[in-house]
Structures are given as C-alpha cells and as structure tokens.
Amino acid sequence: MTLNTLLQGAALAVVVAFPAFADQHTRTTEEVVMAHLGAFGAGDVDAIMEDYADDAVFILPNAVLVGHDQIRPVFEGLVAEFSQPGTEFTLDVTQFNDTIGYIAWHAETSVNVYAYGGDTFIVEDGLITAQTVALSVTPK
C-alpha cells in the first residue's frame, strides 16, 4: 500500500467519522457568509456563532470584540430587533474573493432605519476569523 493510498484512506476516514468537521473546514467564503446570513434571517444565534472561530475579531464603529463571549450579545440584540414584525432587510451587494467576503445591505425595523450597512468578512478554514461592520442607522 502506497503512502498516497494511506493518506487518501485517512482523509476518507476523517470525512466519514466527522462529516460536520470536514464540511465546516472546506466551506468557501461565500458558503460561510451565505450560511451566516441564513442563520441571521432564521434568528438562530447558536448557528450564527458556529460560523465564528473561537478567537474571532468583530470590529464595530464603537468597539472591538474578541471571541464568542463578546460577540454573542451583539447578535442576541440584533436578532431580537430584526425578528420583530414588519422588519424589512434587503441585501444589495455580495462580493467574494478567496478568504474575503463583503456585503452591503439596508433595512428597517420597528425601532431603527438602517440606510446603509456594510460588512467585511475574513474566512479561514471555514470559519469567520474577522468581521468589520459599518452602519448608517437612525432611530425611529
């Protein structure tokens, strides 16, 4: 048996034994960002957080957050706001290149008008390792 055959067999064993691990780490940047948006739209904070590396950096206009414990409360608040009846969210632009993803969007919730939102994502090994957010938000 050759080394190549052994390595192929080992890789297959990892995929069969740990399919979630294999899928997560082979997702493209576009797949990660679109899954992230789907989880946000579904209001699933647990699924949102699964898209982030444990030590992910999340840069907001007023704060730099690191890790799940600091990032999670942001999404808990956003999901609470964006899941209210009458919320409108429009994804205007998506761009992807290798490990970088960008989205531009606008939205209106029961409490805020988001004239512009722009997010940049860095994705490595199937997880968001960094995200920046720019917003133009006006309270109602």
State the total domains in the chain. 1
Residue 57 near residue 122 (C-beta atoms within 8 A): no
List the domain range (segments joined by +) for residue 114. 27-139
Q: Is the pLDDT of residue 34 over 80?
A: yes
Q: Is the pLDDT of residue 136 over 90?
A: yes
Q: Is residue 85 part of a domain?
A: yes
Q: Is the pLDDT of residue 53 over 50?
A: yes
Give 89-96 contacts, CB < 8 A, sequence gap 24+. Answer: 89/41, 91/37, 94/30, 94/33, 94/34, 96/28, 96/29, 96/30, 96/33
Q: Is residue 18 part of a domain?
A: no
Predicted TM-score (pTM) of this structure:
0.82
| 5-22 average pLDDT score | 38
Q: Is residue 8 part of a domain?
A: no
Q: Is residue 2 part of a domain?
A: no
Q: Is the pLDDT of residue 4 over 70?
A: no
Residue 22 near residue 15 (C-beta atoms within 8 A): yes
Here the tokens at position 18 are 């740990």
The CA distance from 37 to 47, in Å, is 10
In 3D space, the residue among 28, 33, 41 whose CA is nearest the CA of residue 75 turns out to be 41
The CA distance from 89 to 135, in Å, is 14
Q: What is the pLDDT of residues 73-129, one digit of tens each?
A: 999 999 999 999 999 999 999 999 999 999 999 999 999 999 999 999 999 999 999
Q: What's the chain's average pLDDT?
A: 87
CATH of the domain at 64: 3.10.450.50
In 3D space, the residue among 12, 9, 22 whose CA is nearest the CA of residue 125 turns out to be 22
Q: Is residue 101 part of a domain?
A: yes
| 16-24 average pLDDT score | 46
Q: What is the pLDDT of residue 24?
A: 59
